[in-house]
Structure 1
């Protein structure tokens, strides 16, 4: 008898099983299939993800993903050195940019975090810093309700980043970051992407 997929995944017309959130919107499906959970081990990419996760706080990821081209244009393609040099004139420019989420606190956080990213280069860099919080085990969720929203590792990462000058990096936001960049694997067990990062086998 054929084993049915767990009730957390939806098998699409292409025969591939995905969670519900990645099964309808083509943009989210493509993001899930090609990017979400793929290890990010470069400073530029990691700074961009931290920035976008901060902007996502309180909003849907779909909103942020649709605006990502606008964010990249507005924030110098998330080059930490260039963003670190932004001043109040840049803040005013960004507050008037309809292609991004115009939130003063989050805009300031992105600039603050660029400066913290540059400063971390003196002690091993952002990538080594963040990846040092990879836990010994990863969740193995059958359904979306099995996926936690924070962990001991995300709490520890949040505290450590705050100590070195980062803001808007709460434990829930950092858990989402850890999922997105492959530090943990929260793909549902029956998803076609489970284990695809190469980090967890």
Structure 2
């Protein structure tokens, strides 16, 4: 019999111990004795663990949970508002990711920020900043995009701007990552509406 469980700290009491060279995930497997009509053997408990070298050369499973529903922002005039969505894709912006899609660290995904009802009155959507944080209330933030371009510590292999500030949809290609000591990563974006083309010129 083979059992598969995701390697997530605190999931079903999974614990992770890290030293200078390895990370070890451990838990306990319980097998309860049959009781018909009486129990004649003890329940069985077995300690289980698996160890991986650091840096991790294995894929850690993560799951993308996209926010359902749009966020509303105001337009240039106070009586107009627009709906904006962040959508994740495992491919070339064709199939959206679902909650059940498995992802691994280093997998390539694409992210689109869309404003479908933006009327083309010389207005373009631009994503100015993107940052990742462990939770919504966390004060810890990791900048991915600053002033429309990848942050200084972000390589082209981790984040690429495919289009930004030239229409009602902004597109990025990125690698799946995991924030140290966290099971979640929340992406937040600061956006702007521009009159005319406001594409950023990013240095290589």
Normalising by the smaller structure, the TM-score range is: under 0.3
Of Structure 1 and Structure 2, the greater strand share is in 2
When the two structures are superposed, what TM-score results if normalisation uses the length of structure 2?
Answer: 0.24
Larger RCO (CA under 8 A, 6+ residues apart): 1
Of Structure 1 and Structure 2, the greater helix share is in 1
